[in-house]
Amino acid sequence: MKTYNSAYGKEIARKIASLKGGSPGSKAFEFQAADINGKPLELAVFKGKYVLLDFWASWCVPCRKGNPHLIDLYGKYKNKGFEIIGVASDDQNPAAWLKAVEQDKIEIWNHVLSGLKMEKGEFDRSKSISDHYGISTLPTKILINPEGIIVGRYGSGAGTDDELDKKLAEVFGAQ
């Protein structure tokens, strides 16, 4: 039991819990964060819709290259009950985040920062949306159904964009 109660043991337990939190079949973590305009945004407001959480960063080249595909998906399904929330890992450089959103023309959907804060030289992960979903690499996308259950995880070793496309076509009856 000494290992479990050590700092190392607690970190492993936290990591295992976060991985479970982002797995298909799990209930989505209901976060609240300030959006790109500083207004409160709650995941709970989107109940009844399919929501794609897009975990990305302004400095992540594969993330940015994937934005045209997300723009296409959003245009195709937004009127059928589909929303995207961009969750950016740019907490230490919000100006870069804002610039990337504008440059990539992705202001058409909601955006928040992950919530990872640096305090006294260490990261405070207690409010990090990414940690609650077990995000360790970017880009990663999490698809949540209208009941708030995770039904897909895509990117970074999980499902591919093609699998996401197939899932959305299945859900919305599109081709």
Please tell me the predicted confidence (pLDDT) of residue 22.
81
CATH number at residue 103: 3.40.30.10
Q: What's the rounded Cα separation, in Å, for the pair 35 and 116?
A: 15
Q: What's the rounded Cα separation, in Å, for the pair 19 and 16?
A: 5
DSSP string, 6-70: SHHHHHHHHHHHHHHHTSTTSBPP--EEEBTTS-EEEGGGGTTSEEEEEEE-TT-HHHHHTHHHH
What are the b/e assignments for 87-119, b being 16+ CB within 10 Å? bbbbbeeeeebbebbeebebeebbbbbbbbeee
Report which residue type is found at 166: K
Give every CB contact of residue 109 below 8 A, 6+ residues apart in sequence. 74, 83, 84, 85, 86
Please tell me the predicted confidence (pLDDT) of residue 159.
81
pLDDT digits (tens, 9 = 90+) for 30-68: 999 999 999 999 999 999 999 999 999 999 999 999 999
Number of structural domains (the chain) is 1
Which residue from 63, 54, 48, 159 is spatially nearest to 113, judged by alpha carbons?
54
Give every CB contact of residue 16 below 8 A, 6+ residues apart in sequence. none
Backbone dihedral region of 154: left (phi > 0), alpha (psi from -120 to 50 degrees) or beta? beta
Residues of the chain with pLDDT > 70, as a percent, come to: 82
Please tell me the predicted confidence (pLDDT) of residue 44.
97
Please tell me the predicted confidence (pLDDT) of residue 61.
97
Determine the structural domain holding residue 44 and report its residue range. 2-172
Question: How far from the centroid of its chain's Cα atoms is residue 66's Cα?
Answer: 14
Please tell me the predicted confidence (pLDDT) of residue 63.
97
Q: What's the rounded Cα separation, in Å, for the pair 75 and 61?
A: 22
CA-based radius of gyration for the chain: 16
Please tell me the predicted confidence (pLDDT) of residue 91.
86
The H or E element spanning position 170 is helix 161-172
Please tell me the predicted confidence (pLDDT) of residue 11.
64
pLDDT means over runs of 10, the chain (175 residues): 64 58 90 92 97 98 97 98 97 94 98 73 67 92 98 87 96 79
